[in-house]
């Protein structure tokens, strides 16, 4: 089996067992193809037959050095090293490699910047923009923005919501993500009222017979992440917030504002769907902009 064949085998494993997205698979493919090219060149220089068996600790250290010399950012180097570790671990598990040369390999240290939230007044300005219109689309957009800020859910979770995930009687919504699984989130009754208004005055008019999605575009199809991002960008510019606002900005803002208002750290962790409390503690270091 060639080196390329083994990469393909690994990618099929990720798709089938880990349910990785196309973007993730593409990133793995690019990283492993680059590593394979490096090993092939190194093996030919030594007069050896190119194979993954040539991937030892010395080769990995030289690979990292080569990446740094090519001016790759530390975060990119760390990602490529992580890709190599995942691949080699899988190869060892399948018996295609005898030992794991990445076991004690140290990745570059990456200092992550703190999240950048909006101020409370900036969030209010953003949420107020759809209120200035009285169209079916503005009802949908206001419901989406308010729900995102009220729960801190990810945009992928927002657009994945189905009508059946909304409990108007108990003021709750059940969202699902690959990393956090399913979790039931309490929602302010005022926000649930906006969702009910959207369902009655927009969704019911554009829905297709068997479309389960909660938030629909004008064609009656599930709204995509890209579609929501464009909607948010338009409202952010109208609110004078510029074009750098992303859906995750509202998630950051929710977390910081909740903690600043005295919310329990573990409650915020559960709302965000963080597997580790350390991910939530980061928000305790963030100051709300004035």
The predicted structure's pLDDT at residue 239:
95
More confident position, 18 or 253? 253
Q: Which two tokens stand for residue 149?
A: 């800020």
The pLDDT of 68-86, averaged and rounded, is 88
More confident position, 290 or 33? 33
The pLDDT of 136-163, averaged and rounded, is 95
Let me know how many helices (H) and strands (E) the chain has, helices first.
13, 3
Q: pTM value? A: 0.66
Q: Which CATH class is domain 3-93?
A: mainly alpha
Q: Left if phi > 0, otherwise alpha if psi is -120 to 50, otherwise beta: which for 225?
A: alpha
Q: Hey, do 3-93 and 120-285 end up sharing a CATH topology, with the first three levels equal?
A: no
The predicted structure's pLDDT at residue 31:
94
The predicted structure's pLDDT at residue 134:
85
Q: Which two tokens stand for residue 124?
A: 């209010």
**Gap between the Cα atoms of 159 and 284, Å rounded:** 28
The DSSP line for 101-115 is: TTTTPPPPP--PPPP
Contacts of 186 (CB under 8 A, 6+ apart): 171, 172
Sequence spans of domains, the chain: 3-93, 120-285
**Gap between the Cα atoms of 102 and 80, Å rounded:** 12
**Gap between the Cα atoms of 204 and 49, Å rounded:** 64
The predicted structure's pLDDT at residue 110:
62
Asked whether 238 and 138 are in contact (CB, 8 A), the reply is no
Task: Assess whether pLDDT exceeds 80 at residue 106.
Answer: no
Q: Which CATH class is domain 120-285?
A: mainly alpha
What is the enclosing helix (H) or strand (E) of 183? strand 181-186
Asked whether 118 and 253 are in contact (CB, 8 A), the reply is yes
**Gap between the Cα atoms of 224 and 101, Å rounded:** 41
More confident position, 210 or 161? 161
């Amino acid at each position: 089996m060639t080196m390329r064949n083994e990469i393909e085998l690994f990618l099929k494993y990720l798709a089938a067992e880990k349910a990785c997205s196309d973007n993730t698979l593409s990133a793995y493919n690019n990283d492993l193809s680059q590593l394979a090219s490096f090993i092939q060149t190194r093996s030919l220089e030594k007069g050896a037959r190119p194979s993954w068996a040539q991937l030892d600790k010395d080769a990995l250290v030289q690979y990292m050095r080569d990446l740094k010399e090519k001016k790759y950012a530390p975060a990119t180097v760390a990602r490529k090293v992580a890709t190599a570790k995942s691949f080699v671990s899988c190869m060892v598990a399948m018996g295609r490699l005898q030992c794991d040369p990445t076991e004690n390999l140290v990745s570059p240290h990456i200092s992550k910047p703190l999240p950048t939230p909006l101020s409370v007044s900036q969030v209010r300005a953003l949420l107020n923009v759809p209120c200035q219109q009285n169209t079916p689309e503005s009802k949908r957009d206001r419901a989406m923005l308010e729900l995102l800020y009220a729960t801190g859910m990810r945009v992928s979770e927002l657009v994945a919501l189905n009508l059946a995930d909304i409990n108007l009687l108990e003021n709750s919504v059940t969202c699902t993500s690959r990393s956090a699984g399913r979790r039931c989130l309490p929602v302010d009754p005022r926000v649930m009222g906006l969702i009910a208004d959207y369902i009655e005055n927009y969704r019911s008019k554009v829905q297709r017979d068997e479309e389960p999605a909660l938030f629909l575009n004008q064609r009656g199809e599930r709204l995509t992440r890209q579609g929501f991002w464009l909607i948010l960008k338009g409202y952010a510019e109208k609110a004078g917030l510029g074009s750098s606002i992303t859906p995750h900005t509202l998630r950051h803002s929710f977390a910081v504002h909740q903690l600043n208002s005295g919310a329990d750290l573990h409650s915020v962790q559960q709302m965000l769907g963080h597997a580790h409390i350390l991910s939530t503690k980061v928000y305790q270091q963030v100051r709300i902009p004035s």
